[in-house]
Amino acid sequence: MPARVLNGNRIRDQILLEVEDAVKGLAAQGIRPGLAAVRVGDDPASEIYVRNKIKACEKVGIHSEHITPPASSTTEELLTLIDELNRRDEIDGILVQLPLPKHVDSARVLLAVSPRKDVDGFHPFNVGALVTKRPAPAPCTPAGLIQILKRSEILIAGKHAVVVGRSDIVGKPAAFLLLHENATVTICHSRTEDLPAVAREADILVAALGRPAFVTRDFIKPGATVLDVGINRLTDAEQVETICAGLPKKLEGFRKRGSVLVGDVNPKDVIETAGAYTPVPGGVGPLTIAMLMVNTLNAARQHRAS
């Protein structure tokens, strides 16, 4: 039996509809959540990411502002901008799109965002709240992973979850969120001995290491649920032919566009081995923006209640 596809687009649409209804409820009280997205410079990928976030705001009725300081902006200038946004009452959430230019002290800029307006969940205050299971915005992609599991009715409690990747943005917070759902959690990384054997113990396997198709069938316990966080654009024909062998739609897409998206999990191996999995694209990615909308909504509720 082929693996069950966990449709991230469908789950995203469910969440956005819930947020839209909640925003309408706030509007009846004269409240409109507001999100400021700061994009420094002209990085094409950042422009696409921010544009999609702004479009999501428009869809659910959240006020949004796209602020675009020049690439030459200094750390001090950006700190002044963040301070102004922290003070603005109509702005409930502040998003600083990464990466920032190399000459900017990214850590100082991110730290300057008020924890109450940190809708990315990156501020150390909110990281501490996540670790100690206190109310606070959680990083959007890991929060989306939990929603995929819950809304797909995949049991978490008591299951062994293995997270491959230990980044501050995905790997570590995903591990804590799974732990809070009563999973038994193992975090793996590049120095884990016999990584495939450890991963193969997982009932729930999270791949978040940023290496295309690195996770093969040797990593996957038959019937496991596999959540693929990776988004890798391949342009090398030989690499695509190897990774996407036996997947005619992927190969046809590459021949038309000259590139193809794959995750950190080998797409053919996961279909043949897993019990359920998130595809790339259309799996985890759509949930990231949906959870950003949730965090902005919650920030507005907390802000107006205080």
Residues belonging to the active site: 53, 97, 120
Taking the C-alpha atoms of residue 160 and residue 169, their distance in angstroms, rounded to an integer, is 21
Could you write out the three-class secondary structure of the chain? CCCEECCHHHHHHHHHHHHHHHHHHHHCCCCCCEEEEECCCCCHHHHHHHHHHHHHHHHHCCEEEEECCCCCCCHHHHHHHHHHHHHCCCCCEEEECCCCCCCCCHHHHHHHCCHHHECCCCCHHHHHHHHCCCCCCCCHHHHHHHHHHHHCCCCCCCCEEEEECCCCCCHHHHHHHHHHCCCEEEEECCCCCCHHHHHCCCCEEEECCCCCCCECHHHCCCCCEEEECCCEEECCHHHHHHHCCCCHHHHHHHHHHCCEEECCECHHHHHHHCCEECCCCCCCHHHHHHHHHHHHHHHHHHHHHC
